[in-house]
Structure 1
Amino acid sequence: MDRLSSALSGPAPDADACRLGFIGAGRLAAALALALQRAGRPVGRVASRRHASAVAMARVLGPGCRAVDPQAVADDCDLVFITTPDAVIAEVAQGIAWRAGQWVVHCSGATPVSVLQPARQAGAAVGGFHPMQAFGADARAAADSLSGCTVAIESADPALQTVLWRLAARLGCQGIDLPPDARVRYHASGGYASQHVHALLADAVRLWQSWGATEQQAMDALLPLLRGTVASIAHSGVAAGMPGPVSRGDIGTVRQHRQALMALDPAMARLYDQLGARGVALARQAGRLDDAQAQAMLRLLEPPPPSA
């Protein structure tokens, strides 16, 4: 029986009756709280360092939610999500009087659950609940994006772990058990699939702008390409779905790319080389390049350093 089936079929505390609250009113908090409310788990209290942010989030959630101070969230709620910036999670946990039997969960991908030790020492169960998703400023659109995403769940307390798995299921998310020592690597993986894509697209836009095109023209051309790439990965996998001249051993085109990039920005050319070399490994994995083709491509992408 898988983890979700076990969580849904075995004995569990009354997750549906627990009172939910948030400390932190940023984009993740607004999206998660709104999604929980849509799934039948309303949020009753929200707090933020900027009270105006808590008021704005409570307004989105409706009349059943009140903007209060952090201690009031802890006093009035059974399950408290700490959704502050990572750097202040420990400070928040230390500054609140928690109680025995309470559940305290942070939503950081990289921060260890051990920073919630003050709550644990007070008798609360602690854990992590991190949706692997990027959230925009529109809370309703961001809440829509939660369905289908993965949520990393961590807790040493079986009852809280079951509650978090049930909440993930309510949201239409895929839960995973995250080992404590894997948090940072797990979170870094999201950077590759999200924020690093922004950096790569910024370079691609710059190439368009180098001949006078606008950013909008670049986006009109590149976003359909990106969507097609994602669809190819979903259908064929990371290695087999990779397109482009590196994957087909087109050394002539890759050489021209490198020359053009070197003339525009040597740092961009070096990044192209590094990414291309990793692409060679993927092409070999997919059986697209034989040994001779792979070595020829790597000689082009990894030139020896100049002699002293």
Structure 2
Amino acid sequence: MHETKRNMKKGDAGANIFFCCSIWSARARNAHGKDKGIYFYENRERFAGIFVKKTAEKHGTFARKGLSHGDGCDKVNGTGGIDTESKMLCGSDKLHRMFFLLTFFGTVHIAGRRVKPVHRESPTGTFTEVVRMKIGFIGAGKVGTSLGKLFVQHGMTVTGYFSKTPQHAEQAAAFTQSQCFSSLDDVMNASDTLFVTTPDGVIGRMWNDMAALPIKSKCICHCSGALPSSVFASAEELGARVCSVHPLLAVSDRFSSWEQLEGAFFTLEGSGSAEMAALLHACGAQTATIGAADKARYHLAACVVSNLAVGLSHWGMQLLEQCGFTAEQAQQALTPLILGNAQAVCAKGPRDALTGPAERGDLGTIRSHMACLNREDQALYALLTRKLCDLAQEKHPDRDDTALRTYLEGLS
């Protein structure tokens, strides 16, 4: 509550009324119990949001995302009004009626001054435009279905799905409460923003079919981590904008991964990056924009920490199996080490998370490791350990690791 008070602007009559009513409702808990005044206190922001939305719509302005008629709690009816049968809020207690009405007029006062779109900061700049797109999907796999659900959950308009596998399009459309299109023409005619969420090898072929249709003023996107937006060759000459929209996240399931996309990091590239950033920010995601020349290096970074890390984990499990562990025991034994290391890197950064013989400059232990490996694996171990020596040097700048580095260079 003290935080609320600090954030109020001086002279804002509506906000002051709202704040005073919040205090009043908090005090009502002690006097009347949880089943009366505190019910409104705990839901005051949701109730205020409903009235802000309705008043904002009256003035033709943008309402805060995520609010719709009937939001707030089960005591609000489908038209955004208050259920007069509610004993908690609409009973005979005049005290609660008074602070509710005061809060209502306070929020109307705030909304009457016109609600402004949210300003969102990102590496690509500040975006204040309201996102009003009609989004269609070509391809109804894990990424397309998950993105569509994310957009719908945040109030965006998803027109529907077209897929070479009609059953997949039907499932995605049902999941997002959108349409299942029977042709490429139909989904393109219904949409001003199109996501091609097919496998990478199909994107170029699909674009050849799309380019033969009217695409002027549309934004054409794909979600490949490796391909640049230039895969949509000549799109800009045809009057369209293009964008590569890649989530730095392993999307593993069609119907549950969308929850992880909220708050995920997306990397953008192409002429449509600004509008895609605005769309994603409105869905709670973060974005960064890169150039087309950096796309391969960007994808390499993702593969190193994702795919190659899986390979190293597999290598470690194989070494334990050589010691007599079963495959199941090896995986179970190393799981805490894998998870703990990943958590430490994310919390403290690679340098401060580093442990082990390279961090200590322990040449003797590293020699004993090399004795367990064949020549090919020795080269891999040496190369990776040299990378760790660079981190160790940052952590211990006064230590001389010349002997260790010389030994590793002779093996890699």
Partner AA of 1:74 in structure 2: M
2:408 matched residue in structure 1: 301
Indicate if the aligned counterparts of 1:283 and 1:289 stay in contact, CA closer than 8 A: no
**Kept after mapping to 1: 8 A contact 2:235/2:242:** yes
Q: Any idea what SS the aligned residue of 2:273 has? A: helix
Note if 1:167 corresponds to 2:279: yes
> What does residue 238 of structure 1 align with?
350
- The aligned counterpart of 1:66 is 180
User: Structure 1 residues 286 and 67, CA, compared in 2 at 3 Å: closer, same or farther?
Assistant: farther
What is aligned with 1:215?
Answer: 327
Cα displacement (A) at 1:216: 2.6
CA shift in 2, pair 1:4/1:271, >3 Å: closer
Which string of whole-angstrom CA distances, capped at 9 and with x for unpartnered residues, describes residues 229-257 of structure 1?
12222232212221111111122221111
Matched, 1:15 2:122: no
Q: Is the alpha carbon distance of 1:211 and 1:59 closer, same or farther for their aligned partners in structure 2, counting shifts above 3 Å?
A: farther
* Aligned-residue offset at 1:111: 1.2
Distance 1:215 1:236 in 2: 31
The letter of the residue matching 1:73 is: V
Distance 1:148 1:218 in 2: 33
Of 243, 265, 269, the match for 1:127: 243
| Structural mapping, 1:126-275, within 5 Å | 126-136=242-252, 138-156=253-271, 160-262=272-374, 266-275=375-384
Counterpart amino acid of 1:150? Answer: F
CA separation of 1:245 and 1:123: change in aligned 2, threshold 3 A: same
Shift of 1:176: 0.8
TM-score, length of structure 2 as denominator length: 0.65
Q: Deviation digits for residues 182-232 of structure 1, max 9, x if unmatched?
A: 111111110011111111111112112223323332222222212211222
Superposition pairs for residues 96-115 of structure 1, below 5 Å?
96=210, 97-115=213-231
Q: 2: distance between equivalents of 1:30 and 1:298?
A: 49
* Distance across 2 between alignment mates of 1:28 and 1:126: 18
* Paired residue secondary structure (2:131): coil
Question: Is contact 2:222-2:245 (8 Å) kept?
Answer: yes
In structure 2, do the counterparts of structure 1 residues 216 and 57 end up closer, same or farther at CA, with 3 Å as the change threshold? farther
**Displacement of 1:289:** 6.9
Q: 1:204 to 1:42 in 2, by over 3 A?
A: farther
Kindly report structure 1 stretches of 4+ aligned residues shifted beyond 6 Å: none
Q: Distance in 1 between matches of 2:255 and 2:168?
A: 16
Measure the CA separation in 2 of the matches of 1:179 and 1:164. Answer: 15
Change over 3 Å in CA distance of 1:141–1:218 after alignment to 2 = farther
For the residue of structure 2 that corresponds to 1:260, the secondary structure is coil
1:215–1:25 CA distance, 2 compared to 1 (3 A): farther
The one-letter code sitting in structure 2 at the alignment partner of 1:127 is C
Q: Distance in 1 between matches of 2:371 and 2:327?
A: 23
CA distance in structure 2 between the aligned counterparts of 1:24 and 1:196, rounded to whole angstroms? 28
Cα pair 1:98 1:119 within 8 Å, conserved:
no
Distance of aligned partners of 1:104 and 1:251 in 2 relative to their CA distance in 1, 3 Å threshold: same
Instruction: Give 1:155 shift.
Output: 3.0
Q: Is the 8 A contact 2:270 2:291 kept in 1?
A: no
Residues 48 and 214 (structure 1 numbering): CA distance in 2 closer, same or farther, change over 3 Å? Answer: farther
Letter in 1 for 2:276: L
Structure-1 residue corresponding to 2:191: 77
CA displacement at 1:146 relative to structure 2? 1.6
1:57 Cα offset (Å): 2.4
Match of 1:110, SS?
coil
Residue in 2 aligned with 1:33? 148
Aligned to 2:63: none
CA contact (8 A) 1:135 1:142 kept: yes
1:277 aligns with 2:386: yes
Tell me the percent identity: 27
Structure with the larger RCO, 1 or 2 (CA within 8 Å, 6+ apart):
1
Is residue 202 of structure 2 the alignment partner of residue 88 of structure 1? yes
Answer whether contact 2:269 2:292 (CA < 8 A) is retained. yes
Structure 2 counterpart SS, 1:22: strand
Work out the number of aligned pairs and report it.
291
Shift of 1:276: 0.8
Larger Rg: 2
Q: Structure 1 pair 196/261, CA: closer, same or farther in 2 (3 Å)?
A: same
Compared CA separation, residues 117 and 273, structure 1 to 2 (3 A): same
1:287 equivalenced with 2:406 (yes/no): no
Residue 34 of structure 1 contacts residue 139 of structure 1 at CA under 8 Å; is this kept in 2?
no
Runs (5+) with no aligned partner, structure 1 = none
